[in-house]
A = this chain, B = another copy of it.
Amino acid sequence: MTKGEDTKAAILRTALERASRDGFLGLSLGSLAQETGLSKSGLFAHFGSKEDLQLQVLDASVEAFVEHVVAPALRKPRGLPRVRALFDGWLEWSQELSGGCVFLAIASDLDDKSGPVRDKLVAYQRDWSDNLAIAASIAVAEGHFREDLDTRQFAHEFSGVYLAYHHHSRLMRDPEAESRARAAFEGLIQRSSARS
């Protein structure tokens, strides 16, 4: 990494933390200059516009997500072990940044907007849904899940377990959030499983 790349990675990390707390409404080149101690013109050298900054923060978020959640799961055996690893990694991910899941923080700002940032977020979310459905399909192929499983429905309900966990742990600070989420996930696994 050159020094320039180092600086940029550090800026993006700060921006990512900030976005996890306040979404994209609180993120601007001005606020970021203040937080990093860099000049606004220095930031402009890395990010041409607020939109460019948001797009790059989104890419950096996905990179972090792949590193923390997807890559470790892919090192697990195909099928149920990988599905479980995706779930464990996803729960940990929600606590990885100070403000919780950056995608949810951003989603709440962008859901009524249109434009390239929203389009990119939606495309990434679709990729993630696809990945969950594919992980379920592999578990079917491995004989862990039943053959008539609707893998898209599985992916949908999987995301519901995560969203409820995030809501109950972060907003409500419910001490039972994790045990509830794990029970919900075990139920989902059980009803998806091949009869033994």
Contact = CB atoms under 8 A, between A and B. Distances in A.
A11 interface: no
B180 A156 contact: yes
Nearest to A23: B108
Interface residues of A, number: 44
A108 B112 contact: no
A25 to B, nearest CB: 5
B163 A180 contact: no
Contacts of A99: 111-112
Interface in A118-138: 121-122, 125-126, 129
Contact of A105 (B108, B121, B191): B108
Contact of A104 (B108, B160, B191): B108
B168 A156 contact: yes
Contact of A153 (B21, B22, B183): B183
Contacts of A152: 176, 180
A172 B157 CA distance: 15
A125 B172 CA distance: 8
A164 interface: yes
Given A25-B25, A153-B184, A167-B163, A112 B125 contact: no
